[in-house]
Amino acid sequence: MITFKQYLKEDISTNPFAIAGKPAWTESLSTMLFDLPRAGFKDVKIPISPAIFRRIWPKPVRTKVFHLTDFDGVKKVIKMQGGKRSISAFFNMDDIVIETGIKSEGGFVLEMMADVLAASQDDMSSQPDKTGRRWMTFSTLMNKPTDSDPGLGGAAKLKRMENDIKEMLIEIIMEYADDPKFMPNVNKSWIALGKEYKSEGKILSKIIKDYLDGMEKVMKKYAKPLGTIFTDYVKKRIQEPDPDSGDKPMWDELVVNNFTIEKVHVVTGDDPEDWDETDFGLPIKVWNDRGSAAAYIRTTVSKIKL
């Protein structure tokens, strides 16, 4: 019988666990920014951009976090160390998810020090574009976290932010649209603008730049409350149960970058002797059961001091 490690090292074309490691559900930015059909303005995208965050909040929150991936993903994340590109991480995760994975096969947890850009007690559904920059929807920023609608609960502190974003979009629409026939409906007009210049890359790139500049200006206006909303969970690190059902999310989500990996945790049930530091060039801890791995993570997180 071959070990899990040997199985993972088989040819990628025949091994169902060996995947490319590409971030899940990526889209081009030119598609993502103009996609507002479901919840309308509530689907407007907020950039979780390291560059923007660094300009608004020069001193990031840095702490120990954990990142779930698969065998193939470990090597890819190692190459990203110290870089600007962001990835998802966690403080709390059910042991079954550690073993089975979320958007990859799971089984490998990277313990790391990282700068935290945003943190939530639930999955924020942050979405990377093809460049690696992550985004969240406006509704995620504003809504209170519930079983059916994870969010950061920013509505009370960001009462006028929606109007400021709408004004920013209107300025862009009126500057670039040949015929803003759907105005004053901002949702339809914004979608139409994306379709109008879908095949005109030069103009589209200017629109996207104006969007990013405009969003940064709005975010800077609300820098103090936004900074609190994005990072308060890092101090708490405890998931509150849903007031109606009493359930807790199966994992929380942090968006981090500029990370340094300290250890690789292998949660596959393999024999520890089958692994050593030469496999990844990092210290390795092999766990015989997922419950023990989850307990170690909980204990480590509980001892974090900011």
Between 6 and 276, name the one with better pLDDT.
276
Is the pLDDT at 48 greater than 90, yes or no?
A: yes
Is the pLDDT at 67 greater than 90, yes or no?
A: yes
Is the pLDDT at 68 greater than 50, yes or no?
A: yes
| pLDDT value at residue 15 | 30
In angstroms, rounded to a whole number, what is the distance separating the alpha carbons of residues 199 and 205?
11
Two structure tokens written together for 198: 């879908």
Interval 121-173: pLDDT, tens: 988 878 888 877 889 999 999 988 764 666 898 999 999 999 999 999 999 99
When pLDDT is cut at 50, 70 and 90, the band that residue 96 belongs to is: very high
When pLDDT is cut at 50, 70 and 90, the band that residue 207 belongs to is: very high
Mean of all residue pLDDT scores within the chain: 86
Q: What's the pTM value of the predicted model, to 2 decimals?
A: 0.83
In angstroms, rounded to a whole number, what is the distance separating the alpha carbons of residues 116 and 272?
32
Is the pLDDT at 65 greater than 90, yes or no?
A: yes
**Contacts of residue 240, Cβ cutoff 8 Å, sequence gap at least 6:** 121, 145, 248
Reference 190, options 163, 212, 208, 172; nearest CA is 172
Alpha carbon 177 to chain centroid, angstroms: 32
Between 14 and 21, name the one with better pLDDT.
21
| pLDDT value at residue 295 | 95
Interval 15-28: pLDDT, tens: 322 333 444 445 68
When pLDDT is cut at 50, 70 and 90, the band that residue 89 belongs to is: very high
Two structure tokens written together for 75: 């090597």
The domain spans of the chain are 23-158+222-302
| pLDDT value at residue 272 | 75
Mean of pLDDT values over 99-122:
89
> Read out DSSP for 39-104?
TGGGG-EEEE-HHHHHHH-SS-EEEEEEEEE-HHHHHHHHHTTTSS--EEEBS-B-HHHHHH-SSS
Mean of pLDDT values over 256-264:
96
In angstroms, what CA-CA distances link 264 with 82, 121, 283?
A: 17, 24, 6
Pairing of β 87-89 and β 108-120: unpaired
| pLDDT value at residue 245 | 78
Q: What percent of the chain has pLDDT over 70?
A: 88
**DSSP type of residue 299:** H
Category of 254 on φ-ψ map: left (φ > 0), alpha (ψ -120 to 50) or beta: beta
